[in-house]
Amino acid sequence: MHSAKPSLWIAREKNKPMKRIFIFCIALSALAATAQDSLQVARLKSLQGKIAPFSTFAKKDSLFLICFWSAASDESITELTSINNNLEKWQSVRPFRFFAVSVDEGKAASRMRPTYNMNGWTFDAYADLYGDLRRALHSNNLPQSMIIFKNEIIYEQSGWTAGTENYLIQRLASLKN
């Protein structure tokens, strides 16, 4: 009888790693589902002042390019100007929705509209007032561009140098439905 206790204890110890893996997988699945939900409910503010969840601006199964930018970042402004100059041509190669999302907060957020107007941009621009979209997509750098297809990030690049916008169109054009 005394020998049964150690073998029972050994059996329990052998199952602990499997239990931990199982719990980890469940937690990871829940986290992934939460990230998808947080992407859809992330609130954006349009230049017209409309505040709505990201899901109202982007269709669930569509292809879109998101560029996070700041009015205080010269690289961001240069990248968006370059994209603006090529956007019509790019969209004729592969239709997609473009989102320029400002991450400016507080007083800096008031510089978004003047920066947009001063540069003569023609695309839609949005403000991520509460940082919801940036958190949902784990964006840390500026400027940062992401290509999202069917709610999945398929390409991202941080920073900008002349010509890097060409990588974006190459990635967009290479996508299959």
Report how far apart the first and last C-alpha atoms of the chain are (Å, whole number): 65
| 47-100 confidence digits (pLDDT tens) | 888 888 888 777 766 888 999 999 999 999 999 999 999 999 999 988 899 999
Residue 122's identity, in one-letter code, is T
How far apart, in whole angstroms, are the C-alpha atoms of residue 130 and residue 135?
Answer: 9
| 2-59 confidence digits (pLDDT tens) | 555 555 555 555 556 556 555 554 544 444 444 445 566 788 898 888 888 888 777 7
Three-state DSSP class for 165? helix
Per-residue pLDDT for 119 more than 90? yes
> What residues are paired with 126 via a beta bridge?
46, 101
Residue with tokens 């947080």: 38
Per-residue pLDDT for 1 more than 90? no
- Closest listed residue to residue 151, CA positions, set 37, 52, 68, 30: 37
Phi and psi dihedrals of 64, rounded to 5?
-145, 155
How far apart, in whole angstroms, are the C-alpha atoms of residue 98 and residue 89?
Answer: 13
Say if residues 28 and 131 touch (Cβ distance below 8 Å).
no
How far apart, in whole angstroms, are the C-alpha atoms of residue 61 and residue 127?
Answer: 22
